[in-house]
């Protein structure tokens, strides 16, 4: 898909899905990885990489420890921005909007789809808090794994969130830094499209 097709689009989400499918073929690791930016109530920003597990009518969905730094910031200031960058395709997608918590059933379903050791890791990690040593983390994992030989329930603090897109920018590399940038802004159920200077 070249920029001419994007220039005629009325909805950025089908393009995002098409680009993600292409990235799944060309990116060596985690094509669904995105930088997630959050901020405290007084506006101090922070950013980290997350895996966006689903994009549907609710938004761009990810899962995390609600007691982590990003979880606490989302409680204070429930807005966020995401940036996908696919170097192999020379494309970027920026997403901005409010964040909503996904139903517990979604978090349960996704948690149970993870590998056992990923479940154990989520259960023992006090994410973003100080950790004395790597050895201490490995001891916690080993002990929890031994004490829970059966199924592992989703920890209460492990939640799912969706960034509800209000703004989506599709960026395509251009020669001589004459990049193609298209900003889509949602108003109700419709999107408006504007071409931006690179």
At 1 the pLDDT is 73
DSSP string of 5-66, one letter each residue: HHHT-S-HHHHHHHHHHHHHHH-SS-TTEEEEEEE-TT--EEEEEEE--EEETTEEEEEEET
- Quote the pLDDT of residue 158: 96
Is 186 domain-assigned?
yes
Cβ neighbours for 151, distance < 8 A, ≥ 6 positions apart? 112
Instruction: Give the per-residue pLDDT at 4.
Output: 83
**pLDDT at residue 164 tops 90:** yes
- Quick check: is 48 catalytic? no
The answer to whether position 130 is within a domain reads no
What's the number of domains the chain is made of?
1
* Domain annotation covers residue 148: no
Report yes or no on 37 lying in a domain: yes
User: Quick check: is 127 in a domain?
Assistant: no
Catalytic residue among 177, 181, 186, 195: 177
Question: Domain for residue 173, yes or no?
Answer: yes
Structural domain includes residue 122: no
Report pLDDT digits (tens) over 25-84. 999 899 999 999 999 999 999 999 999 999 999 999 999 999 999 999 999 999 999 999
Tell me which residue range forms the domain holding 65. 3-112+156-196
Find the CATH number of the domain harbouring 78.
Answer: 2.30.110.10
List of long-range contacts for 176-180, beta carbons under 8 Å, 24+ apart: 180/3, 180/6, 180/7
Question: Does 92 have pLDDT greater than 90?
Answer: yes
The answer to whether residue 188 is domain-embedded is yes
Sequential DSSP letters for 142-171: HHHHHH--S--PPPTTEEEEEE--SEEEEE
> pLDDT tens digit string along 104-126?
999 999 999 999 999 999 999 99
């Amino acid at each position: 898909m070249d920029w001419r097709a994007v220039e005629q689009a009325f909805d950025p989400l089908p393009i995002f899905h098409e680009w993600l499918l292409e990235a799944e073929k060309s990116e060596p690791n985690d094509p669904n990885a995105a930088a997630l930016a959050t901020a405290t109530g007084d506006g101090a920003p922070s950013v980290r990489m997350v895996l966006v597990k689903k994009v549907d009518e609710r938004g761009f969905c990810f899962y995390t420890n609600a007691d982590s730094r990003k979880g606490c910031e989302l409680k204070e200031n429930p807005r966020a921005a995401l940036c996908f960058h696919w170097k192999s395709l020379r494309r970027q997608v920026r997403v901005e909007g409010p964040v909503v918590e996904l139903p517990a059933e979604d978090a349960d379903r996704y948690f149970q789809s993870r590998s056992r050791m990923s479940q154990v890791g989520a259960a023992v990690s006090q994410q973003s808090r100080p950790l004395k040593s790597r050895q201490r983390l490995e001891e916690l994992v080993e002990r929890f794994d031994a004490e829970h030989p059966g199924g592992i329930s989703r920890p209460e603090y492990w939640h799912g969130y969706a960034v509800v897109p209000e703004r989506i920018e599709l960026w395509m590399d251009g020669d001589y830094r004459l990049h193609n940038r298209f900003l889509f802004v949602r108003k109700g159920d419709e999107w408006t499209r504007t071409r931006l200077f690179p």
